[in-house]
Amino acid sequence: MNRRWTFGNRGRRTAVLGAALLLTAGLAGSATAFGAEDGPASAAASAAASATASTTASGKAAREAAALTGSAKLYRSAGDDITFSFDARLAAKDNDDPLKATGTFEWSHYAGGEGAWAKAEVDCLLTGGKVAVVSGVITDSDLPGAKGKRVGVTVHDTGRHDRLGYSWAATGGPVGGLPRCVSSAPFEKVKKGTGDFTVVPWLPKF
């Protein structure tokens, strides 16, 4: 199957990494990134429902330094099934170092019975207000060549109309030289009726 990364309804630019990375074959009417509920994204969605507070030795709840949780489908006029899920957290004790964030995020894209998914391990989380930028290295995917590549995703938690963006909108696919904490503006729209992203803002000590 000639899977590929695709993005943007305008032009439907396609980039190939090795044999081709992360997306469906022949999706003439499809656009962007990964997404779907059939992949392991459902596991991250379940994890994202857990509480965002950690517990101190005294038993009192301690606010996490930052967090991005939840899942949503992206809007596609062609009906593609695209899902992103996040469970990324920065512990209170690591408030001064966003590179110590932990967790995972997953995404998938299915259309016409074909598609792919990927899972990344978080290596940076930066949040401000209701916007989060998370990056991570792909640890598992059903497409050759994807593992070991870093990607970044941006989420804007607006409440009713969340938005999302991803680094491969500019690079065309995952790249080994992408720095941590890098992504794009949240240009994608979340599909109506989906989405429960929650962003815990980072409060750095300057």
| Cβ atoms of residues 31 and 158 within 8 Å | no
Q: Would the pLDDT of 205 be above 70?
A: yes
Give the tens place of pLDDT for each residue, 180-192.
Answer: 999 999 999 999 9
CA 106/CA 50 separation, integer angstroms: 16
CA 35/CA 148 separation, integer angstroms: 19
Give the tens place of pLDDT for each residue, 66-80.
Answer: 999 999 999 999 999
91 pLDDT band (50/70/90 cuts)? very high
Give SS3 for 44. helix
Residue 172 identity (one-letter amino acid): G
Q: Would the pLDDT of 31 be above 50?
A: no
CA 157/CA 167 separation, integer angstroms: 18
How many Cβ atoms from other residues are within 10 Å of residue 190's Cβ? 24
First-to-final CA distance of the chain:
51
Whole-model pTM above 0.85? no
CA 128/CA 189 separation, integer angstroms: 20
CA 103/CA 124 separation, integer angstroms: 10
| Cβ atoms of residues 143 and 21 within 8 Å | yes
